[in-house]
Structure 1
Amino acid sequence: MNLQSAPPPLGQASDIESEPFQEPAADGYLLGGFTWRHASPDPQRPVVIINAATSVRCRHYSRFAAYLFANGFDVIIYDYRGIGESRPKSMRHLQASWTDWGALDFEAMLKRAQREFPGQPIDVVGHSFGGCAAGLGASGKIIRRLVTVGAQFAYWRDYAPEHRWRMFGKWHLLMPLVTLFCGYFPGKRLGWLEDTPAGVVRDWSTPAARYERRPSGRTMTDLPFANVSAKALAISISDDPYGTIPAIERLLAYFHNAQKTHLRIEPQDIGEQQVGHFAFFRSAYQATLWPIALTWLQTGELASDTPGRKIPRSQTL
């Protein structure tokens, strides 16, 4: 599909009503989120689950969800335990980790999609850690297509060299120290994303190059990434200090059985000076970046005039 002629959304997010929902994970924790659902069921219509970045509320993805809905998808967005719609009254004693977010919370959304949209294909969009979460659900084999954006699990040596030491000090020294004092990371008060459970902070800040060596990763006897055989598109942006080529490739290597494509985009490729780690899902990029994800979800392929370049497949982790 030509990117310049990609169909525009039929309405803005504010024009399209979503349904709030609550869904229990396997351990009983109640998760909150929103669904964009077409009036008539259609077994040919895919449903997309959007996995958020670490400590980013699902509402950040509402306009992108409405865009997908307007282009023929049913869509589910949700918050991981401890965040946004899934936040408890007190964060101090919340037991939650990255692995919980994937193996329990994302898995609950896969089960919900199967129940609420029986027979429909299930696709996933994962931002940052949300791409990692897509590989942690036991039911990952049901994912048809996967799009990740800046997806990695924060290994500090993979950060962009010009930002590496500042980011190491912020996320791997200061964040765990503040968390130790408060019992959770008070990100909202500091203006650093949402408040974050202590277990997630431990996973994020541990300087291990492999996910199974993160604190919660060590609790899993087998990592279920290999269950995912989807056609997977990993999008990375060259000015994203988290989503460097080594970082993206490090995560992609875990998806042994997926059909993987890594697309690297320079901001200049779409007429911009900067994009960074968080901006992809802002409506300003509806005409330039969103059609890339849309086309992949629709066809499992890149359009011939897609901006950016493909990164050759790495053979090692």
Structure 2
Amino acid sequence: MSGEPEYTQEFIDVDGARIGVQSYPDPDGVPDAPVVVIWPAMGVRARYYRPFAAALRDAGLAVIVADLRGTGESTPLPNRTCRYGYAELAADVGAVLDALKPRLDGRTRVLLGHSLGGQVGVLHQALHDPDRVDGLALVAVGVPWWRGYPGLRGWGVLPYTQGIAATARLLGVWPGWGFGGRQARGVIRDWAYTARTGRFPTLDGVDAEAALRSVRTPVLAVSMDDDQYTPHATLDHLCGKLTAAPVTRHRYAVAEAGAPLDHFTWVRAAAPLAVRVAGFAAGLPRR
């Protein structure tokens, strides 16, 4: 797109998978700029975030975007033999951060997740070395617990999410019919569990809910007006699990963005949000 920066495509091998990583040039005139590492929503390719990357660079931040395992440039393509779920996605975050260490050393690091990418980022902080990053930004993220949706909507969310899970079990993979792109059945299993119970499942023998209570990483939590998948209450529910973390909560409104918003379109109206992320990064302790 015109006016948006080009990126360098890299690949990182992780436990039989290959994670595609897009590294953007550092912002002009900002040596050792804070780095934002973005993890996308379910089924969304890293390149979708190019407008957001441009806005973040304009705000003085370096940007890296990783494709979730099985999406975009990352492999394997989900199929019946894939067994990975949330545990592996969270471990991928740490592997990518380790591989990027030469670029990240000495810089403030913000892990920014959108939707599923935000859940994965939270779980990485809970289950792995939280000191790899200095701040966690959650943008249009939430636990899709059916009871967290307003009015009668939750009564539709419950059968919808569990129907997707049942289909993935039957077929051995979620084909991406109308939602979320093609996904490994383990990812859908864990996602559907959160929708049914409001809790994260036990992952690799670890009580993820208990581990979340130990996270102390500063958090910027931003929900969107008119978000059809993760309305404000779903992010409030997730933030309630981070009892030890300092959380800055913000609702990104249409008036602030200057454009219509929903779970995906905020990416194209993100200049004010990018400034907010830059302010959050500037307030984090320097390495």
Q: What TM-score does the superposition give when structure 1 sets the normalisation length?
A: 0.77
Amino acid at match of 2:261: V
Does structure 1 retain, via aligned residues, the 8 Å contact 2:43–2:183? yes
Amino acid at match of 2:173: Y
Q: Distance in 2 between matches of 1:271 and 1:38?
A: 27
Structure 1 segments (4+ residues) deviating >4 Å: 39-43, 221-224, 268-272
Does structure 2 retain, via aligned residues, the 8 Å contact 1:160–1:241? no
Does structure 2 retain, via aligned residues, the 8 Å contact 1:159–1:241? no
Q: Distance in 1 between matches of 2:161 and 2:103?
A: 38
Does structure 2 retain, via aligned residues, the 8 Å contact 1:146–1:297? no
Instruction: State the match for 1:313 in structure 2.
Output: none
Counterparts of 1:1-317 in structure 2, within 5 Å, are: 12-13=3-4, 16-25=5-14, 27-38=15-26, 44-89=32-77, 91-102=79-90, 104-137=91-124, 138-173=128-163, 175-187=164-176, 190-206=177-193, 207-211=196-200, 214=201, 217=203, 219-221=205-207, 224-225=211-212, 228-268=215-255, 270-272=257-259, 274-282=260-268, 285-299=269-283
Q: Distance in 2 between matches of 1:221 and 1:170?
A: 26
The alignment of Structure 1 onto Structure 2 pairs a total of residues equal to 277
Seen in structure 2, the aligned counterparts of structure 1 residues 270 and 40 have a Cα distance that, compared at 3 Å, is closer
Q: Distance in 2 between matches of 1:286 and 1:249?
A: 21
CA drift of 1:144 comes to: 1.7
Does structure 2 retain, via aligned residues, the 8 Å contact 1:140–1:224? no
Q: Secondary structure at the match of 1:152?
A: coil
CA drift of 1:156 comes to: 1.5
Q: Distance in 2 between matches of 1:292 and 1:38?
A: 19
Q: Which runs of 5+ in 2 are unaligned?
A: none
CA drift of 1:81 comes to: 1.5
Identical amino acids, percent of aligned pairs: 26
Q: Distance in 2 between matches of 1:76 and 1:108?
A: 14
Seen in structure 2, the aligned counterparts of structure 1 residues 239 and 90 have a Cα distance that, compared at 3 Å, is closer
CA drift of 1:170 comes to: 2.5
Once structures 1 and 2 are overlaid, which stretch shifts more, 220-229 or 131-140?
220-229
Does structure 2 retain, via aligned residues, the 8 Å contact 1:97–1:197? yes
Q: What TM-score does the superposition give when structure 2 sets the normalisation length?
A: 0.84
CA drift of 1:123 comes to: 0.9
Instruction: State the match for 1:308 in structure 2.
Output: none
Seen in structure 2, the aligned counterparts of structure 1 residues 83 and 271 have a Cα distance that, compared at 3 Å, is closer
Amino acid at match of 1:281: V
Does structure 2 retain, via aligned residues, the 8 Å contact 1:129–1:153? no
Deviation per CA, 1:181-226, whole angstroms, max 9, x where unpaired?
Answer: 3221111xx3423211100111111211221xx2x53732566545
Q: Secondary structure at the match of 2:234?
A: helix
Q: Distance in 2 between matches of 1:57 and 1:181?
A: 26
Q: Distance in 2 between matches of 1:40 and 1:28?
A: 37
